[in-house]
Amino acid sequence: MEQEQVIAEIASHYESIIRLLGDNPARPGLEKTPVRAAKALYYATQGYRQDAAEIMKSAIFDYAGSRMVIVKDIEFYSFCEHHILPFFGKVSVGYIPDGEMVGLSKLARVVNVHARRLQVQERLTAEICATVDSSLKNKGVIVACNAQHLCMKMRGVEKQESSTTSIEYTGQFAYNPALREEFFRLLTDVR
């Protein structure tokens, strides 16, 4: 289906939702809302139409270094798949090179591809780790994610200030706790 058709169809559903909520989709303030909301949702879920492995492959270079590389605090916005409410926060990605490195901005794009769809934080973290691990020669990949979930904050669970942390790792990070500690130390120490 063409993009315009998809957006028009999502918009027609938003119009019904507004009506079902008890408001009038034809009143001045809401007239263009279904289309605007459809476009916003389509944009925020563009990860379905992108390929994270391809993005990685587009910027892989030979590299002789063997020390940990970290990209810290990559901002992301996603939707929890249980409530279709936003969750958002920061992801930090580390890897130990094994003959290759990846353009740093690609890691941020990989985070976005996996975030911009219906997700759960745990799977988001695991998918980012798996994509980096499978498309870059490495001796270990580690991903830490900290996020706030509007489905917890808005629905009166009274966990307004809580945040959720998830972590995934492969290779040397799995069997060498000192490397995981180094990763977390670098996340907090380096300014």
Catalytic positions, written as ranges = 80-83, 121, 149, 151
- Enumerate the β-bridge partners of residue 143: 93, 168
104-115 and 121-135 helices, crossing angle to 10°: 140
| Listed residue (113, 92, 114) closest to 104, CA to CA | 92
Site for Zn ion in 112-171 (CB under 5 A): 151
Contacts with Zn ion by CB under 5 A: the residue count is 4
Closer Cβ to Zn ion, 147 or 179, answer by number: 147
Parallel/antiparallel/unpaired status of strands 118-119 and 86-97:
unpaired
| From 38, 52, 70, 80, residue interacting with Zn ion (rule: CB under 5 A) | 80
> Applying CB under 5 A, which part among 36-44, 64-72, 74-82, 171-179 lies near Zn ion?
74-82
Backbone dihedral region for residue 126 (phi beyond 0: left; psi -120 to 50: alpha; all else: beta)? alpha
For Zn ion, which stretch binds (CB under 5 A), given 32-40, 45-53, 75-83, 93-101?
75-83
Q: Which of 121, 127, 155, 122 is nearest to 141 (CA)?
A: 127
CB of 188 to Zn ion, least distance (A): 28
Shortest Å, Cβ 87 to Zn ion: 7
If one asks whether residue 83 binds Zn ion (CB under 5 A), the answer comes out as yes
By beta-carbon proximity to Zn ion, the closer residue of 78 and 92 is 78
Q: Determine if 69 is a binding residue for Zn ion (CB under 5 A).
A: no
Which of 82, 155, 159, 185: binder of Zn ion (CB under 5 A)? 82
DSSP label at residue 116 = S
Cβ distance to Zn ion smaller for residue 80 or 107: 80
Return the exposure string of 97-110: e unless at least 16 CB atoms fall within 10 Å of the residue's CB, then b. beeebbeeebbbbb
Compare residues 80 and 167 and give the one whose CB is closer to Zn ion.
80
* Among candidate residues 99, 97, 165, 93, the one with its CA nearest the CA of residue 130: 93
Q: Is 44 an interacting residue with respect to Zn ion (CB under 5 A)? A: no
Where do contacts with Zn ion occur on this chain (CB under 5 A)? 80, 82-83, 151
